[in-house]
Amino acid sequence: MKEIVPLLCIFGLFCHSLQAVPVGDVSSVRERLQQTGDEPTQSDRNAIDDFWHTAMDMMLLSEESSEIVSIRREIQKQKGTEPLSFYATVYTQIGRDHLQTAFETVDQWVASDSQTLMRRNLMILTAQMQSPLLAEFGLDRLDDPDDVVRYWAVKSVAGRAIRSQLIDPATGDEALTRQILDALLDRVQDESDIEILRAIVTFAAGVDRPAAHEILQAAAQRRAQAYMNWDVADEWFDGALLRMTGQVILEQRPSEARAALGRHFAELLSLVFQRYMADPSPLSDTQRDALVGVIAEVETQVLNRIMDQPTPFIRLIQRGGAGLEREFEAYFGSGAGAGHLASRLGFNYGSTGTGQPVHTPPRLPDPPASE
C-alpha cells in the first residue's frame, strides 16, 4: 500500500500524511448550519465531501496507530453535536460512500498487522458515528473472525444511540430494526465473547419486539447449557442478563410471550442457585461469591418486584444457608406443585409424555469427577 504514496504526491492528491486533517471549510460549514438549522447547499456538500475524501486518504495512508486514531476522532468530531440535524444527516450520508470505498480498499490489502489495525479503526469510526445510516457496515461484519471488529460491528447496529433512534417514533425504521434483530439473533447463537453478548442483550432488552425477546431467551438458553455442563465463567454476565430479562418481564402484560420469558428467566436463575447449593461443592470461594453476587442483584432488582414483597434468599445465605433449599423449591417448584414464580408469571417447565405440566426446573447434574 505504501508504495502508492509517491505517486499520489506526484499527482498532487496527497502529500501531507503526517499533518493534521485540514478542517477549515467543513468546520465553518458545520458551525454555520448548526446555528441556522438550514439544509446544506451544494457548496456545503462539496466541502463535506472534500473533507471526507482528504481525511480517509490520510487515514488509509497512515502507519502510526496514534495518527489513525487522531484522524478518526477528527472525522467523528466534524459530524457535530446534533446528530439529527440536516447537517449531520448529510455529513453521514456523504461519509457512507467514503467508508464503503475504504472498507473495500482495505479488504484488498495483504493480510497483515496494518490491515488488522485499519479494519478495526474503520469499524470503530462507523460505530462512533452513531447513525443507523451506516448499519450496513456493521451487519456485514457481525461474524467477523476478529473479536475487536465484531465488537464494534455490534455496537454500530446495537449501541444506545442507535437503539434510541430506531425506536423513536420520529426517526424509527421498523424494517431496519427487524433486520438488525434477526441478525443479532443469529449471532447470539454462536458468539463466544462475553462483552459482545452483553452488547447484544442490552440492545434486545431495550427494544420491545418479539424478536428481541427471542434474543434474550436464546442467550439464557446458552448460559443455562453452560451451567448444565459445569463450564461457567463470567457469572457477572448472568446477573446482567437476568436483571435485564426480569425488567422486560415486569414491563409486559400477562401473555404467552411473557410466560415464555418467565420460564427462561426461572430456568437460568434456578441453575445459578443449584450451582451455589451443590454439596459437596467443587467451586472455589471466589466462584461461590460470584454466584451470591448474581443472586443478590436479581433478588433486589427483579424478584422482589415480581413477588411484590421481599424474597428470602440473600438473608438465608447470610445466615449460613439453613432453609435455602426449602425456599428454593417454594419459589422454583417441586414435585408437590408449581412454585411461586411459575404461579405469578403463568409458566411451567414443559410437559410430561402424558401431557402433564412439569413444575420442577431442570436439575443440575452432578459436577464431573475431578481427575
- Residue type at position 91: Y
Q: What is the pLDDT along the chain (371 residues), one digit of tens a residue?
A: 444 333 334 333 344 444 578 888 999 999 999 999 999 999 999 999 999 999 999 999 998 999 999 999 999 999 998 888 999 999 999 999 999 999 999 999 999 999 999 999 999 999 999 999 999 999 999 999 999 999 999 999 999 999 999 999 988 899 999 999 999 999 999 999 999 999 999 999 999 999 999 999 999 999 999 999 999 999 999 999 999 999 999 999 999 999 999 999 999 999 999 999 999 999 999 999 999 999 999 999 999 999 999 999 999 999 999 999 999 999 999 989 999 999 999 999 999 889 899 999 999 999 987 64
pLDDT at position 19: 56
pLDDT at position 16: 43
pLDDT at position 177: 97
CB 82 within 8 Å of CB 36: no
Rg (CA), the chain: 26
Distance, in Å, from the CA atom of 59 to the CA atom of 62, rounded to the nearest integer, reads 5
pTM, rounded to two decimals: 0.90
CB 219 within 8 Å of CB 188: yes
Provide CB contacts within 8 A for 280, sequence distance 6+: none
Among 217, 211, 232, 237, CA closest to 275: 232
> Phi, psi (5° rounding) for residue 346?
75, 40
- Residue type at position 106: V
Cell numbers linked to 218: 436464546
Distance, in Å, from the CA atom of 148 to the CA atom of 100, rounded to the nearest integer, reads 19
Distance, in Å, from the CA atom of 212 to the CA atom of 150, rounded to the nearest integer, reads 19
Among 205, 235, 211, CA closest to 223: 235
Distance from chain centroid for Cα 174: 19
Q: What is the distance between the terminal CA atoms of the chain, rounded to a whole angstrom?
A: 53
Question: Residue 123: enclosing H or E segment and its boundaries?
Answer: helix 113-128
Distance, in Å, from the CA atom of 120 to the CA atom of 101, rounded to the nearest integer, reads 15
pLDDT at position 309: 95
CB 127 within 8 Å of CB 92: no
pLDDT at position 20: 75
Q: Maximum Cα–Cα distance for the chain, whole Å?
A: 85
Residues in the chain: 371
Question: Residue 58: enclosing H or E segment and its boundaries?
Answer: helix 42-61
DSSP per residue, 90-105: HHHHHHHHHHHHHHHH
